[in-house]
Amino acid sequence: MGQDSGTSPQGSRVWHYGRKLSALAATVALTFIGLLFVTFLIGRVVPIDPVLAAVGDRAPAEVYERVRIELGLHLPLYQQFLVYIGKVLQGDLGQSVLTANAVTTDIARVFPATLELATAATLFGIVLGIPMGVLAAVHQGRWPDQLLRVVGLFGYSVPVFWLGLMGLLLFYGRLDWAPGPGRLDVFYEGLLDPVTGVILIDSALAGEWDIFRNALAHITLPAAILGYFSLAYISRMTRSFMLEQLNQEYITTARVKGVSERAVVWRHALGNVRIPLVTVIALSYGNLLEGSVLTETVFAWPGLGFYLTQSLLSADMNAVLGGTIVVGAVFIGINLLSDALYRLMDPRAR
């Protein structure tokens, strides 16, 4: 707190928060404008003439000129950039050549699928990763620790798309434990009215438990493959946070007082690790959104990543840049959120 805390602690605290918040907001705004600047530059660099793409190469010169002015391409670059920012802020990301829809509409349609997959994967990573990290820290240097090391090295070295293909080969092709690619069997497709777009939630709301079970079966393999990477990261970080805590004096005090070892590890130490872990989980969630591009392509999962790669292959620039902006914005937002959560939960960071 500032030096004037003696005069009006309440007021100075509000002021302090206000200043921090506005600094944070400025950072985020700057980063977002930077993101738009990069996508704008990429859009300008592309060797495709947007006017020709709109009017075709047989159009007379006056039509060409009119469309050029309509698209705002006669303005100087900085004005074009300002117009571009204005459009993006209004949610106008242009039109997709591939689907003939507004890119915003397309993204709103495919985004829930990505959200569903990334959330399921993160849950997988949390549920397995935290206990593994704790065990590795408690048994430092022995087999749980070695296992964790192997899991981590494997995760940092294996290509996610290859792991996905091998998972499909083994569990779908050979063992027949998992259903094939996609979010649902063809039989169930289109039976459900999208409410949230997240099939697991929609089907549960509608009481369609057959569909729910089918969707769950479909999401298990891709979520496990994608979640493996968050498992590797979360368990590693849990281990190092736990080691740090277990060497502190309050742990010795608790042990001397006769607190059971289980309570010392799982309540005292893990309780203090909770806060930094939130940041780690948020970061891994952001990374999964990115990793989902390749996973979705392998599993024909109709999410944002699949949409992005489809648009890429047909040189649909509006869709590609729109998808980049959305993923980038979510990524920035998640980083911001994890930072805010950390400050909120840890009084020392305020």
Partner 1 sequence: MTTSSANSIATHRHDRLRQWLLSTAPRSRRQARLGRAYIAWLTFIENRLAMIGLGIIIVLVAAAALAPIIAPYAPNAPNLAERLMPMSSAHWLGTDELGRDILSRIIHGSRLTLYVIVLVAIIAAPVGLLIGTVAGYIGGWLDVVLMRVTDIFLAFPKLILALAFVSALGPGIENAIIAIAITAWPPYARIARAETITIRKADFIKAARLQGAGPIRLIWGHVMPLCLSSLIVRVTLDMAGIILTAAGLGFLGLGAQPPLPEWGAMISSGRKFMLDQWWVAAMPGVAIFVVSLGFNLLGDGLRDVLDPKAEGR
Residue nearer to partner 1 on the CB measure, 166 or 216:
166
Total binding residues for partner 1 by CB under 8 A? 51
Each residue 302-321 as x (binds partner 1 by CB under 8 A) or -, in order, gives ------xx--xx-x-x--xx
Q: Is 97 in the site for partner 1 (CB under 8 A)?
A: no
Sole binder of partner 1 in the list 113, 184, 328, 338 (CB under 8 A)? 328
Residue nearer to partner 1 on the CB measure, 185 or 339:
339
Q: Is 289 in the site for partner 1 (CB under 8 A)?
A: yes
Each residue 44-83 as x (binds partner 1 by CB under 8 A) or -, in order, gives -xxx------------------------------------
Q: Is 157 in the site for partner 1 (CB under 8 A)?
A: yes
Q: Which two tokens stand for residue 98?
A: 């591939």
Sole binder of partner 1 in the list 102, 206, 217, 332 (CB under 8 A)? 332
- SS3 of the chain: the string is CCHHHHCCHHHHHHHHHHHHHHHHHHHHHHHHHHHHHHHHHHHHHCCCCHHHHHHCCCCCHHHHHHHHHHCCCCCCHHHHHHHHHHHHHCCCCCECCCCCCEHHHHHHHHHHHHHHHHHHHHHHHHHHHHHHHHHHHHCCCCHHHHHHHHHHHHHHHCCHHHHHHHHHHHHHHHCCCCCCCCCCCHHHCCCCCCCCCCHHHHHHHHCCHHHHHHHHHHHHHHHHHHHHHHHHHHHHHHHHHHHHHHCCHHHHHHHHHCCCHHHHHHHHHHHHHHHHHHHHHHHHHHHHHHHHHHHHHHHCCCCHHHHHHHHHHCCCHHHHHHHHHHHHHHHHHHHHHHHHHHHHHCHHHC
Sole binder of partner 1 in the list 17, 143, 162, 209 (CB under 8 A)? 162
Q: CA–CA separation, 92 vs 89, rounded Å?
A: 7
Sole binder of partner 1 in the list 216, 335, 337, 339 (CB under 8 A)? 335
Q: Which two tokens stand for residue 183?
A: 């979010």
Cα separation values, 242 from 257, 270, 349, Å:
20, 7, 19
Report, in Å, the least distance between residue 278 CB and partner 1.
Answer: 18
Which own/partner contact pairs does 76-80 have at CB distance under 8 Å and 24+ positions apart?
A: 77/44, 80/40
Each residue 14-43 as x (binds partner 1 by CB under 8 A) or -, in order, gives -------------x--xx--xx--xx--xx
Report, in Å, the least distance between residue 98 CB and partner 1.
Answer: 13
- Residues in 126-155 at the binding interface with partner 1, rule: CB under 8 A: 153-154
- Residues in 174-233 at the binding interface with partner 1, rule: CB under 8 A: none
Choose the binding region for partner 1 from 54-62, 83-91, 102-110, 282-290 (rule: CB under 8 A). Answer: 282-290
Q: Is 98 in the site for partner 1 (CB under 8 A)?
A: no
Report, in Å, the least distance between residue 236 CB and partner 1.
Answer: 8
Report, in Å, the least distance between residue 255 CB and partner 1.
Answer: 25
Give contact residues for partner 1 (rule: CB under 8 A).
27, 30-31, 34-35, 38-39, 42-43, 45-47, 153-154, 156-162, 165-166, 168-169, 173, 236, 240, 286-287, 289-291, 293-294, 297, 308-309, 312-313, 315, 317, 320-321, 323-324, 327-328, 331-332, 335
